[in-house]
Amino acid sequence: MAEKVEFYRETEFKDTEIGRISKEWEIKKLSEFLHLENGKRPNIVVNGKFPVYGANGIMGYTDAYMVDDDIVIIGRVGAAGEVHLARGKIWLSDNVIYGINKNRTKIYLDFIFYVLKYTNLSRFASKTTHPIITQTILENFKVPVPPLAEQQKIAEILSTVDEAIQKTDDIMAKTERLKKGLMQELLTKGIGHTEFKVTEIGKIPKEWEVVKLENVVEIEDKYRIPVKKQDRQPGPFPYCGANGIIDYVAGYTHDGKFVLLAEDGGFFGPFENSAYIMRGKFWANNHVHILKAIEEVLISEFLAFYLNFINLVPFLTGSTRPKLTQEDMGMIPLPLPPLEEQQKIAEILSTVDKKLEILKQEKVKLERIKQWFMEELLTGRIRVRVA
């Protein structure tokens, strides 16, 4: 979208069966410009050449294709109403309905894709165990249609924001991979070591010790107090659970710097554990352990990174709802580098975390921008000037 885009606010509207739209726009049924068909059961193969689209997007690959065109894909069953746009040679699964543009002089398919995304078609699906949306519903579904050139401009604007979101997602994924690589390197080999020893947790630098968690932290679980949502009094203090802050309340149970680790209901496994740091006043429920590092030997940030790095599954009990008991948690072995090295490791990994947080905020900002554009442009409240 290289050229300058000029917007203006619409002043003339008309009332229609789908609401107020610009006086210049039309209302059309999807069947007037889309040829709709159900997909077919695919033959997924390991080294397939052509993508197979299901209700949630690409679900695999196959060695044949059904269509070779630009198409809009709508979830028919399961994720009914989910909308995707695809191009080229693809196969469509039997849990989707796909539409091919049959009136290209009046309709721009990318615009229709965004209209359908904005519409939230899932609300028209049957209210059953497996929600279904039918061709009949879609064929009779009515959408606002601006002049073709304006459709193209609107789709171009929205796709530009989508590309920015995708680029941010890609950078986040690369940064996440970088973080995992750094954790693997720093939390097992440290910084600048040449001599190593074999221990119960694997090979670590010769200078490091291996200690039990209970010997380097104070466990303050006895101060936890769970409060049901309907009984919480709103306030300024974070209310913490297994996976982070879940609410804000009027009181607090802890004040200081702590590492919180999921007792149950969290994510467990290498790089997937639910350990995080809380500073200041907060309330903690009984789904999270409260650990205060003994500062003479352990830095909280180093501890949090290590607890998120290792595999905690062997320390869990129970199958229906796995739980990390206080006793088992205390027996978790961890490496203990010198304090100065712990600090350096924590600083390096914290820098990557800060980068990830900036990227997450950027994505939120872009998604808000996209939502605003969709609400304004797809209803005609804001128009795009077409030369």
Residue 235 is given by DSSP the state: E
pLDDT at 249: 97
Confidence tier at 1 by pLDDT (50, 70, 90): very low
pLDDT tens digit string along 49-83? 999 999 999 999 999 999 999 999 999 998 999 99
pLDDT tens digit string along 213-227? 999 999 999 999 999
Q: Do 26-145 and 209-336 show the same overall fold?
A: yes
Beta-strand (E) ranges in 93-158? 96-101, 142-145
Mean pLDDT of 121-140: 89
pLDDT at 318: 85
Check pLDDT > 80 for residue 86. Answer: yes
Confidence tier at 120 by pLDDT (50, 70, 90): confident
Q: What are phi and psi of 378, to 5 degrees?
A: -80, -5
DSSP 206-221: TT-EEEEGGGTEEE-G
Mean pLDDT of 298-318: 95
Q: What are phi and psi of 288, to 5 degrees?
A: -140, 135
Domain 209-336 has CATH 3.40.50.1000: no
Confidence tier at 387 by pLDDT (50, 70, 90): confident
How many Å is the maximal CA-CA distance in the chain?
78
pLDDT tens digit string along 289-305? 999 999 999 999 999 99
Domain boundaries, the chain: 26-145, 209-336
As a whole number of angstroms, the distance between CA 36 and CA 72 comes to: 9
Rg, the chain, Cα only: 27
pLDDT tens digit string along 241-274? 999 999 999 999 999 999 999 999 887 888 777 8
* Cα–Cα nearest to 36, from 100, 92, 85, 83: 100
Sequence-distant (6+) residues with CB within 8 A of 61 are 44, 45, 47, 48, 49, 50, 51, 52
Better-predicted residue by pLDDT, 144 or 321:
144
pTM: 0.86
Tokens found for residue 380: 């005609």
Sequence-distant (6+) residues with CB within 8 A of 302 are 337, 342, 343, 345, 346
Mean pLDDT of 276-290: 97
Across the chain, mean pLDDT equals 94
CA quadruple 321, 326, 331, 336: dihedral, nearest 10: 110
In degrees, rounded to 5, the angle at the alpha carbon of residue 340 between the alpha carbons of residues 330 and 291 is: 25
pLDDT at 352: 97
CATH of 26-145, one of 3.10.28.10, 3.40.50.1240, 3.90.220.20, 3.40.50.720: 3.90.220.20
pLDDT at 3: 64
